[in-house]
Chains A and B, each alone.
Chain A
């Protein structure tokens, strides 16, 4: 009876320890993301425009997207990074700032673990002429009009997605095609090309 009692105490202490550990780690993890987001916001703000303006939200009424914008950079492999949250959209901050000359690029998830909905689950329903709104922290909104959509192989050259010789463009990216568990990636990418209105 005495041994059983010690065992129960130990299990109880361990459980409390793991619960505390989980919360502490979660808080640190979230803090790390927030710090990175803040750092990226500041970096984006300092490198892409001279004001303290930062983009905060994307809205695409035709496919019911209304999501916050994260700032993403490059992965170690040289690919555009992805947003950390399923319902966020990531703006490639080393590239063009939305509304400036060139092609600004945003990416969002199309599926998430455990069947959790993701922001671009319905991006393939977007059509030419649909409107995309980008809002900044000052409440200003830029409007883009969808010009076309294309499917790229995941390893395709992305020059024309990230660069443009003229005009103000916004390009959205998400995954499509079969899931390749070997590479942990979908086979293709859906690219939505949009042009700024006025």
Chain B
């Protein structure tokens, strides 16, 4: 290993050159233009809905209409303009999606996206183009989490099937940028949660009580919905700012600590946490901080259940940059009619990297017992590692931003083992009651030998009043590729030293000769 140690000066030079290099080549999936499909929640030739209780928030396009008109808000219903243009744009978008280069190709055959481990962490997907030669499933009522801002394309030659109760969750991703392109029909299981735009002219069929944020685009085919289905066109697609994908700095060697890692953190507190007398207004207050080492720009806060998130204060110097000492406040108000858990996502950008964090909160309707809130912050002692990697220590800080103490606190990390799954007797438990009270902080560390670029997710859980509070924190550690070799005209250092040695020896011999001559004279 000693051979792999790095000359710091040389490394800094190379890395600085790399950071400022302009020829870095980036290959990232990109979302195509939705064109005239953008406003359609359902685009089909035949739209089938035979029962009441379906809600479609978005336009519905068809030439053969449903027996029962679904509830929901929309502008267009039927085959009036821009229906035919949307059909054209659907084909254009599909063609663009099919031209994207696969970033990961599964082994041939049917793939269960919820249990697959060949692509990376089980159930977790990062932005990219995932190619499947066969059918794709979300099996066993499982969950897949789309982790990080960017475009996700799931391309399969076969059918797309999700099992009942399965979930497609977004963590930093936007439903606007999630694309499914099955080669055969799509079937979404009952009670499932689905995200993204599904372009499937072979037909799309929903079981009952499916919650889908995205678009069912089957121009030329049939879309079938069932009772209690809800399809909602993502409300913020047209205004989402561009967030560049994480791109490692160029140059060889990498190395920890030169580039300052940006880490954004968000805390969400709903008021009230409980609506005992039924539906009511809830105000969500969000606190965004920069716990990394680089100021961040392009701050973006979105809530999957509260559409209008408003900035309140915090940008002290008004430079649109989240400084290391600033705390930005946001708020959102909405009416909750049933017990609701929603997810807020904060994204920030610095020096070619984006950072995101999420926070969950549950508001209970019909009960006076407030649910708990938990927050976990995760940092790593290194961000950029040289080729070969290094030992990285992660630090986890767990707090209780709610109003009720929590029991059975646990912390896990999908890429770092050794964390306690059940926490008792923690020094942060000030009153030693084995509960995480609102004024207490539990901290942990975990060390892992990281040899390749790693995105890992910490999960903190706590329990109170019959509810489970859960929070995730994602940390990225990047292992650099080697620098490109210098294969031009080489300099043979050994010959240089040999020459120096020879000349020195010659000089010594000449001196000896002269001294000898003088003595003789």
Contacts and interface: CB of A to CB of B under 8 A. Distances in A.
Given A3-B520, A74-B4, A77-B11, A157 B487 contact: no
B249 interface: yes
Interface string A177-191: 001000011100100
Contact of B487 (A22, A95, A110): A110
B481 A159 contact: yes
B483 A158 contact: yes
Nearest to B253: A78
Interface in A81-138: 81-82, 90, 92, 94-95, 107-113, 120
Contacts of A160: 25, 27
A90 B23 contact: no
B256 interface: no
B446 to A, nearest CB: 25
Interface centre among B452, B483, B485, B491 (most CB of A within 10 A): B485
A78 B485 contact: no
Q: Is the interface of B mostly helix, strand, loop or mixed?
A: loop
Contacts of A21: 501-502, 505
A147 to B, nearest CB: 12
Contacts of B488: 109-111, 175, 179, 184-186
A78 B255 contact: yes
Contact of B23 (A10, A108, A152, A166): A152
Given A73-B3, A157-B250, A79 B489 contact: no
B7 A165 contact: no
B96 interface: no
B189 interface: no
A77 B483 CA distance: 8
B454 interface: no
B386 interface: yes
Contacts of A163: 452, 481
Interface stretch (B13-21, B46-54, B149-157): B13-21
A38 to B, nearest CB: 15
B490 interface: yes
B105 interface: yes
Given A14-B506, A73-B4, A120 B487 contact: yes
B249 A157 contact: yes
B485 A107 contact: yes
B444 interface: no
Contact of A76 (B10, B103, B480, B487): B10
Nearest to A180: B488
A154 B23 CA distance: 9
B25 A80 contact: no
Of the four ranges (under 10, 10 to 19, 20 to 34, 35 or more), the interface on chain B belongs to 35 or more
B480 A90 contact: no
Given A155-B14, A157-B249, A184-B491, A82 B509 contact: no
Given A156-B250, A160-B25, A81 B485 contact: yes
A7 interface: yes
Contacts of A69: none
Contacts of B25: 150, 152, 156-157, 160
A3 B249 CA distance: 68
B484 A158 contact: yes
B62 interface: no
A153 B502 contact: no
Contacts of A18: 502, 505-506
A153 B21 contact: yes
Interface centre among B489, B505, B520 (most CB of A within 10 A): B489
A10 B513 contact: yes
A72 B509 CA distance: 40
B517 A3 contact: yes
A173 interface: yes
A108 B13 CA distance: 24
7 contacts: A18-B505, A72-B485, A82-B486, A113-B490, A166-B102, A173-B487, A175-B487
Interface of A: 3, 7, 10, 14, 17-18, 21-22, 25, 29, 72-82, 90, 92, 94-95, 107-113, 120, 150, 152-163, 165-167, 173-175, 179, 184-186, 189
Interface of B: 3-7, 10-11, 13-14, 17-18, 21-25, 27, 102-105, 247-255, 386-388, 452, 480-492, 494, 498, 501-502, 505-506, 509, 513, 517, 520
State the 8 A-B residue pairs at the shortest beta-carbon distance, nearest first: A78-B253, A79-B483, A157-B250, A153-B23, A77-B10, A76-B7, A79-B252, A175-B488
Given A77-B11, A162-B482, A185-B486, 20 more contacts: A7-B513, A21-B505, A25-B498, A73-B4, A74-B3, A77-B6, A77-B483, A78-B6, A79-B483, A80-B482, A92-B482, A156-B250, A157-B18, A157-B251, A158-B483, A163-B481, A165-B103, A166-B102, A173-B484, A189-B485
